[in-house]
Amino acid sequence: MTKKGSTVCNCANKIMYTLNPSFYVRVKEKIKGNWGVIFLASAIISMISTTLVFSGSIGEFATVFGDLQTYGSQYIMQSSKIGRSSNFFGQIFPILIASILQLSLNIELISFLKTGKFQIVNLFRHIQENPKVVVICGAIMGLIQLVLSSIPVVGPFAYFVVSFMFIYVGFIVALKKDMEIQDYFKESINLTKGYKMQLFKVFLHYYLFVILFSISLLISVVLMTIGVTGGEIIILIVIGVILFFASAIGMLVISVRNTPLYLLANAMFFEEQLQHEGIEL
């Protein structure tokens, strides 16, 4: 990473790029005419991942069910071990595939910012053109997610924090295709120093109401549970059901509307940060 006119970026003396309200206006302007195709690309990644998870679960069920039919009840313990092993690999493979495709999506977003064209087919073309870097970097991102998210209670929060450190990896791959694998992650860590809070603000801008609806969804479940266990208190059950469906619909609508905007916002923040600091990759 270098600054224009120099060979080394003196990051200690850099003038920080700061978010301003017009940033979100620029994101909306940039995505015009392309919201649908970016959403479709994101949806395809989700569908591929979900399909792999579902097919893995069906295969695991068939394996265990077949073992029980063949060997009887004395084989239950061994089958459960096979099931746990299959479940682990059934989780890791979809996560790795989704992470690789997500990284490729980030590459295409940088290309979109430069050319004004977003092509879904490029999700697979980027992998084909630079398989070593895209696949390995994407897989590492997936493994980080899998390992941290599997830690009870604190794991998902730890992954959420760490994800901001590596949020630039795909963008850097788009600009530099011949770096060492570890350097993509080091560069992302370096570039996000001092910017994680601003990146978090970008996340909150698009997903704050999703978080609030998630909380209200949990509250609705508590209300319905209290209503049923407390002697079928009808009013609590009714309120809980209404709140549940309202929260679920709210989460879905906002997630669908804002996901393409958030994906593009991250890429635009990255690009504008580099331009502001005069950094060339």
- Position 146 scores a pLDDT of 87
8 A C-beta contact, residue 241 and residue 278: no
Give whole-number Cα distances, 135 to 42, 138, 169, 173, in Å. Answer: 18, 5, 12, 11
- List the chain pLDDT tens, one digit each, 281 residues: 555 433 334 444 567 888 888 999 999 999 999 999 999 999 999 988 777 766 544 444 444 334 434 444 443 344 444 444 445 556 788 889 999 999 999 999 999 999 999 999 999 999 999 999 999 999 999 999 888 988 888 988 899 999 999 999 999 999 999 899 999 999 999 999 999 999 999 999 999 999 999 999 999 999 888 877 766 678 888 898 999 999 999 999 999 999 999 999 999 999 999 999 988 87
d(CA 247, CA 262): 21
**Which pTM was predicted?**
0.82
d(CA 45, CA 146): 17
